[in-house]
Amino acid sequence: MAWLVITLDVAPANVDTFADALLETGAVSVEIGDAYAGTPRECARFNEPGEPDAGSWELARVSALFDEHADVSVALPAALAAAAYEPNQQYSVERVEDQDWVRAVQADFKPVAVSPRVWVVPTWHTPPDPHAINLIIDPGLAFGTGTHPTTRLCLEWLDLNMRAGWTALDYGCGSGILAIAAMKLGAAAAIGIDIDPAAVLAARNNAMQNQVAVQVEGADYMVVTSYDMVVANILANPLKMLAPLLARAAKRGGHVVLSGILDHQAGEVIDCYNEWFEMTGEQREDGWVLLTGKRC
């Protein structure tokens, strides 16, 4: 079986209506992105919870996936008309052969060296260094494969600073990679908490895969224990709202590790945590910032 990928550039106005219309006229899926991605005219948009709408791109690129037998000459004009676009809009058609999509996705995830002694290894790979501390991770539907700068920054901090016998809380744990790393680096106990049930399931499975006893709970879990180290790799606005909770979860003299923060957001996050923590550390990679501090 093969597929048809229809791609066209349209003005951002009504692009969501256009995407819905494409789905109604037979598209299997629709992807919307910046038509200028990868060029000097690219415009990054981050719509974080709690922030105003970041606006739209200068020009939107829409890619719709259709069955190879679909009559695109009928479906596309109908969708354009529904979104009040010009019916003679230029577009391209690419035929894509079916393949093993699981294997295709897996091919994009390879072992990642965090340091000479710590590796992140997808479950379908053999560890390059069997004597290293190998974090065996299957992300499933959860965030956290070790490839994103925010995760790498956290792992690098853990590798350098984690002490044997510490207790650790990973708030917004995703795949569980940071809680698992804490255990493999000597933590006495670790707990991961996430609002997403798929993440909770993935983290529990990854903990079993790594043979470490990480407790994983949903967001309704009440944090009543204080920890030597609290890590949260989320986004800036949720981190600001969570400051009182994470402060209560950190022992006096304990550490907080915050990631998922863009360069221009660092000052605001620091201001939120200064009430409880001495915020002293900053690490940066590709526009992302890791903030660390000690509980007063």
User: What percentage of the chain reaches a pLDDT higher than 70?
Assistant: 90
147-205 pLDDT, tens digit each: 789 999 999 999 999 999 999 999 999 999 999 999 999 999 999 999 999 999 999 99
User: Could you read off the pLDDT of 4-50 as tens digits, one per residue?
Assistant: 999 999 999 899 999 999 999 999 999 999 999 888 888 766 555 55
Taking alpha carbons only, the member of 54, 52, 13, 57 closest to residue 33 is: 57
Report how far residue 200's alpha carbon sits from residue 218's, in angstroms, rounded to the nearest whole number. 7
The strand ranges marked E within 71-175 are 92-97, 112-113, 118-122, 133-137, 167-171
Check whether 104 has a pLDDT greater than 60. no
Tokens of 196: 């997403």
Which pLDDT band holds residue 109 (cuts at 50, 70, 90)? confident
Helix (H, G, I), strand (E, B) or coil at 160: helix
Longest Cα–Cα distance of the chain, Å, equals 67
**Residue 220 contacts residue 244 (beta carbons within 8 Å):** no
How many CB atoms neighbour CB 203 within 10 A?
31
Q: Return the H-helix or E-strand segment holding 156.
A: helix 149-161
| C-beta separation of 251 from 276 below 8 A | no
Q: In what order do the strands lie in the sheet with 277-285?
A: 214-218, 189-194, 167-171, 227-233, 250-262, 288-295, 277-285
Which two tokens mark 227?
Answer: 């920890």
Q: Which domains does the chain have, with CATH numbers?
A: 2-98 (3.30.70.120), 142-295 (3.40.50.150)
Q: Give the whole-angstrom CA distance, residue 259 versus residue 231.
A: 8
pLDDT band at 268 (very low <50, low <70, confident <90, very high): very high
pTM greater than the 0.85 cutoff: no
In angstroms, what CA-CA distances link 135 with 114, 206, 236, 241?
A: 10, 9, 26, 30
